[in-house]
Structure 1
Amino acid sequence: MAVAGIVYLLHFDRAFGHARHYTGWTRDLTARLAEHAAGRGARLLAVVHAAGIGWQLARTWEGTRADERALKRQGGASRRCPLCGVTARRR
């Protein structure tokens, strides 16, 4: 059985190499964002933190880990990012 949670999209204040976004999944968004802000959790967010690059929560969806993986496989996070000038479609 798939566990429902929150799929979220973070928008970096500036690019880190090729990366401008991070897509993740959690059951507790507040706690997960605090981990990212402290430079813990996902490796990409740790190196972004160490490089002094800030980020903003750009968008959230209700979903499962499978939904997160599907979005990551599709690539093109900037196409889903309202901070990049994209208007989200209703699901």
Structure 2
Amino acid sequence: MTTGTVYLLHFDRPYAHAGHYTGWTTDLAARLAEHAAGHGARLLAVAKAAGIGWTLARIWTGSRADERALKRQGGASRRCPLCGVTPRNGDRR
């Protein structure tokens, strides 16, 4: 399994039901540039078209399986320090 970076983006304001986006990449800078340009993830493309910005809120070292596990758990706002959560060191939840 390839190790990369799992990341959490916090939206400036919600888009429909979404206030966060969780993703995975092996090149964080390049992936964030793609998102900023409105390419890649559909949710981020439509958020950009709606004038919604985002901030990189948190990163973890992990695999695609770790990203999927976080997405399946739901509750991204419970992992977001910009929403008032204080992550414990090494905590993925």
* Residue of structure 2 in register with 1:42 after alignment: 41
What is the match of residue 8 of structure 1? 7
- Structure 1 alignment gaps of length 5 or more: none
Where in structure 1 do 4 or more consecutive aligned residues deviate above 6 Å? none
Mark the runs of 5 or more structure 2 residues left unpaired by the alignment: none
Per the TM alignment, residue 81 of structure 1 is displaced from its structure 2 partner at its CA by 0.1
So what's the TM-score if we normalise by structure 1? 0.98
1:18 equivalent in alignment to 2:17 = yes
Structure-to-structure mapping, 1:39-78, within 5 angstroms:
39-78=38-77
CA distance, structure 1, for counterparts of residue 88 and residue 72 of structure 2: 19
Provide the rounded CA distance (Å) in 2 between the counterparts of 1:70 and 1:5: 15
Alpha-carbon offset, residue 90 of structure 1: 1.5
Q: Give the superposition deviation at 1:18.
A: 0.6
Q: Distance in 1 between matches of 2:19 and 2:54?
A: 9
Report the identity percentage. 78
**Residue 30 of structure 2 is aligned to residue 31 of structure 1:** yes
TM-score between the two structures when normalised by the length of structure 2: 0.96
| Alignment correspondent of 1:84 | 83
Q: Displacement, 1:50?
A: 0.5
Query: How many Å separate the matches in 2 of 1:89 and 1:70?
Result: 18
Distance in 2 (alpha carbons) for counterparts of 1:18 and 1:86: 20
